[in-house]
């Protein structure tokens, strides 16, 4: 099992890493100190599960779990000093809720439970978008997409390594991947997991803050309620 530790306290991270190292079949693929950093590394590290604190600056543990819920993976094991969020955690599908100081026996139980979920729900086949880069035919995994922008006859796929032109329309993509793309505007789709927040301009226009890019596409008034609901409820 590939494990990512997310906790803003260095000593807590070190303890969780040490405890997880005593559990069979676990590979620690990384550790970060906030939810935004975790989001930025999901595609690169591909963790199967998170050991996730709740009380962190910026994107806290509950907000991060809300963002991850539509993806199905990674699974979440909360490790926190507070017992007041347990109900919310399980409503979000958390594997377990461990109180600090975490005991080795409880961590083993939680990881075994996470492994059973992994065994029951194998990783989905990766979806690819196919297009052109100059004269070459190339593909990009949908998980790597930052946003999709319609321009004249083509759709520009912005991803972490550059851009790609595809001939599929936004409507075709929206219908093919209804759970993996959300419409911001008539000319823009984004993966829900990329949404970090909103920015309202003095003239009333609302822009989306996206993970992994400085681009801030505009959100139409028609689509704004759905985007706000997604950010609020995960």
Domains of the chain (ranges plus CATH)?
A: 2-120 (3.40.50.2300), 128-233 (2.40.50.1020)
Query: What is each CA distance from 196 to 58, 67, 74, 210, in whole angstroms?
Result: 10, 9, 18, 5
What's the CA gap between 4 and 122, in Å, rounded?
Answer: 19
Residues 141-187: pLDDT tens digits?
A: 888 899 999 998 889 999 988 898 998 889 888 887 887 899 999 99
Position 128 confidence tier, pLDDT thresholds 50, 70, 90: confident
pTM of structure: 0.58
What's the CA gap between 182 and 218, in Å, rounded?
Answer: 13
Dihedrals phi, psi of 26, to nearest 5 degrees: -110, 135
Residues 14-39: pLDDT tens digits?
A: 999 999 999 999 999 999 999 989 98
Position 105 confidence tier, pLDDT thresholds 50, 70, 90: very high
Which range in 52-56, 70-74, 192-196, 225-229 is most confidently predicted, on average pLDDT? 52-56
What's the CA gap between 196 and 194, in Å, rounded?
Answer: 6
- Cβ proximity of 71 and 22 under 8 Å: no
Q: Which residues, including other chains, have CB under 8 Å from residue 216's CB and lie 6 or more apart?
A: 199, 207, 208, 209, 210
Position 198 confidence tier, pLDDT thresholds 50, 70, 90: very high
- DSSP-derived letter for residue 85 is T
């Amino acid at each position: 099992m590939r494990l990512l530790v997310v906790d803003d306290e260095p000593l807590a991270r070190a303890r969780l890493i040490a405890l997880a190292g005593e559990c069979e079949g676990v590979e620690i693929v990384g550790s970060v100190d906030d939810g935004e950093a975790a989001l930025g590394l999901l595609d690169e590290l591909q963790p199967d599960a998170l050991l996730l604190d709740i009380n962190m600056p910026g994107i806290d543990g509950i907000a991060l779990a809300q963002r991850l819920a539509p993806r199905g993976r990674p699974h979440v094991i909360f490790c926190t000093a507070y017992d007041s969020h347990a109900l919310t955690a399980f409503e979000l599908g958390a594997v377990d809720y461990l109180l600090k100081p975490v005991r080795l026996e409880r961590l083993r139980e939680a990881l075994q439970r996470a492994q059973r979920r992994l065994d029951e729900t194998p990783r989905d086949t990766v979806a690819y978008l196919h297009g052109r880069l100059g004269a070459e035919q190339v593909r990009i995994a949908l998980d790597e997409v930052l946003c999709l922008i319609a321009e004249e006859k083509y759709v520009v796929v912005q991803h972490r390594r550059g851009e790609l032109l595809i001939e599929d329309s936004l409507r075709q993509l929206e219908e093919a991947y209804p759970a993996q793309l959300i419409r911001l505007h008539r000319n823009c789709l984004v993966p829900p997991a990329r949404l970090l927040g909103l920015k309202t301009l003095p003239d009333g226009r609302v822009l989306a803050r996206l993970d992994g890019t400085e681009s801030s596409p505009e959100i139409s008034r028609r689509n704004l309620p759905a985007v706000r609901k997604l950010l609020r409820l995960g």
